[in-house]
């Protein structure tokens, strides 16, 4: 028997018993809706956790420290950090450096009319863009840029005070007006010359001992997860920053305890190419004896929780599907009882046993498939209503209460069809075992 003939015959038989078929399909619809909606709530919860963690920081970043104090573990030197680059799936590794012996300030304008203090962080110049900073304006420093080429935080210019005026008129606050427009600061970071000065305290007050002009080429968007410098600080190539600090120490006769030794860092940053590879990279780095931290540690714990929640919710939904499976089995058993004589006639006419079995399996599968498709359509509607109502109750926003990804839609339809086939298998086997003589004699 051709598959097309088998399907046509199966649907014709279902049409002849519309009432019973409808009630059985309704049970499958309820079961499909129960499973899909329950799991969709867990999927939405999982996504909300990921969104929350994204706000906490880049999930592909790993912070590396050496807190163990173990003499067998090599300090975080340039060689060690460069070695992290050899680990599979690592995009870039850079030390993070903040000067310890450098009293600095920023000045601009005639006679240093405008003055500011800013947090400075040093990282490898080539790691700036990979690190994940977002540009508001300008560009990132390039390999061939001159020394002291930097990017600054989004509100860096608003840190400058006018030394010729008194508080509160000596500052311009970064507060937008009713139209969302920010006031113009005292300093234009791209047009005005901005210098960094190293100063020390003497009996006569502050004395400038060194000065360098900054080449500001970009302004980066504020991102709390990446540090205060994204608000109003400076991000500089690590070699330039260390050179500034060493010059300052030399001018002030500060002894460099690390002179002649390998440069050691308190912290390094490793960027991984994909969130799914972070755990493997962490495991490798920790095997060297270093301490690590990543936002994925929270993510993994939350994943375990959401998986447990999805399992519980899916289990609750499966109860309804179990009831629908019993309903399908009952419907197919009744169909076989009512069509016993028909089965006998088919056998007398020479119909193969496998075709008789496949006919009943196809009917059971059709019930499961129809219930799954209709149930899935209803699920999409329920999901849209839940998300709309949830958004209104939460005062807007795009937080979803229910999310039905493609894999869940395919699973819901496939599972309901599978349940139909399994539920119809025993009745189909029973139909095959009926002898032609007893079937023909059946009233």
Angstrom distance (rounded) from CA 275 to CA 218? 28
148 touches 245 (CB < 8 A): no
DSSP conformation letters of 16-27: HTHHHHHHHHHH
Structure-token match 């599979």, residue found: 88
Q: Which of 373, 367, 379, 376 is nearest to 324 (CA)?
A: 367
Q: For residue 125, give the 3-state DSSP assignment.
A: helix
> Which pLDDT does position 155 carry in this prediction?
93
Angstrom distance (rounded) from CA 262 to CA 29? 69
CA 246 to chain centre: 41
215 touches 145 (CB < 8 A): yes
389 touches 348 (CB < 8 A): no
Residue 171 φ/ψ region, left for φ over 0, alpha for ψ in the -120 to 50 degree band, beta for the rest: beta
pLDDT digits (tens, 9 = 90+) for 185-201: 999 999 999 999 998 88
Quote the tokens at residue 17: 């018993």
Q: Which of 5, 19, 30 is nearest to 335 (CA)?
A: 19
pLDDT tens digit at each of 443 positions of the chain:
566 666 676 666 677 777 777 888 888 888 888 888 888 888 888 787 777 766 666 778 888 988 766 667 888 888 999 999 999 999 989 998 888 888 889 999 998 999 998 789 999 888 888 887 889 999 999 888 888 999 999 999 999 999 998 887 888 998 888 888 899 999 999 999 999 999 888 777 788 889 999 999 999 998 876 777 888 899 999 999 999 998 999 888 888 776 667 888 888 999 998 888 988 999 999 998 898 988 776 666 777 777 777 777 777 777 777 877 887 787 777 777 666 666 666 666 667 777 777 777 888 888 888 889 999 999 999 998 888 887 777 655 567 888 899 998 998 899 888 888 888 887 777 776 766 556 555 55
Helix (H), strand (E) at residue 156? none
CA 352 to chain centre: 55
Helix (H), strand (E) at residue 235? strand 234-237
> Which pLDDT does position 364 carry in this prediction?
83
> Which pLDDT does position 161 carry in this prediction?
93
Q: Phi and psi dihedrals of 106, rounded to 5?
A: -115, 140
pLDDT digits (tens, 9 = 90+) for 30-85: 888 888 888 888 888 878 777 776 666 677 888 898 876 666 788 888 899 999 99
> Which pLDDT does position 308 carry in this prediction?
79
Question: Interior CA angle at 51 toward 273 and 61, to 5°?
Answer: 30
> Which pLDDT does position 252 carry in this prediction?
87
């Amino acid at each position: 028997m051709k598959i097309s003939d088998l399907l046509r015959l199966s649907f014709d038989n279902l049409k002849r018993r519309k009432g019973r078929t409808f009630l059985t399909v309704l049970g499958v619809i309820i079961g499909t809706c129960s499973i899909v909606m329950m799991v969709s709530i867990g999927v939405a919860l999982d996504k909300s956790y990921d969104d929350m963690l994204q706000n906490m920081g880049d999930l592909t970043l790993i912070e590396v420290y050496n807190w163990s104090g173990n003499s067998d573990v090599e300090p975080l030197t340039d060689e060690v950090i460069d070695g992290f680059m050899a680990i599979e799936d690592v995009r870039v590794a850079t030390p993070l450096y903040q000067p310890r012996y450098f009293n600095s300030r920023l000045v601009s304008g005639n006679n240093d009319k405008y003055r500011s203090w800013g947090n400075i962080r040093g990282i490898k110049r080539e790691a700036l863009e990979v690190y994940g900073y977002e540009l508001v304006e300008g560009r990132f420093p390039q390999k061939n840029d001159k020394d002291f080429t930097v990017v600054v935080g989004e509100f860096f210019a608003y840190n400058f005070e006018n030394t010729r005026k008194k508080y509160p008129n000596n500052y311009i606050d970064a507060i937008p007006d009713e139209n969302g427009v920010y006031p113009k600061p005292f300093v234009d970071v791209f047009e005005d010359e901005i210098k960094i000065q190293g100063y020390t305290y003497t009996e006569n007050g502050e004395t400038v001992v060194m000065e360098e002009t900054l080449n500001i080429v970009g302004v980066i968007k504020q991102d709390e997860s990446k540090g205060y410098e994204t608000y109003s600080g400076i991000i500089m190539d690590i070699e330039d920053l260390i050179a500034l600090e060493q010059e300052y120490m030399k001018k002030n006769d500060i002894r460099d305890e690390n002179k002649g030794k390998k440069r050691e860092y308190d912290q390094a940053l490793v960027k991984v190419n994909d969130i799914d590879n972070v755990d493997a990279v962490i495991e490798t780095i920790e095997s060297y004896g270093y301490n690590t931290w990543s936002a994925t540690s929270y993510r993994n714990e939350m994943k375990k929780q959401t998986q447990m929640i999805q399992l519980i919710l899916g289990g609750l939904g499966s109860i309804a599907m179990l009831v629908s499976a019993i309903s399908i089995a009952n419907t197919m058993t009744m169909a076989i009882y009512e069509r016993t004589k028909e089965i006998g006639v088919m056998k007398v006419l020479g119909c193969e046993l496998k075709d008789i079995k496949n006919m009943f399996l196809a009917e059971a599968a059709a019930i499961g498939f129809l219930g799954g498709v209709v149930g899935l359509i209803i699920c999409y509607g329920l999901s849209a209503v839940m998300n709309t109502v949830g958004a209104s109750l939460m005062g807007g926003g795009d937080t979803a209460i229910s999310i039905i990804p493609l894999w869940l839609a395919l699973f819901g339809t496939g599972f309901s069809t599978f349940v139909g086939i399994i539920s119809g298998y025993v009745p189909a086997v029973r139909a095959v075992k009926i002898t032609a003589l007893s079937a023909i004699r059946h009233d």
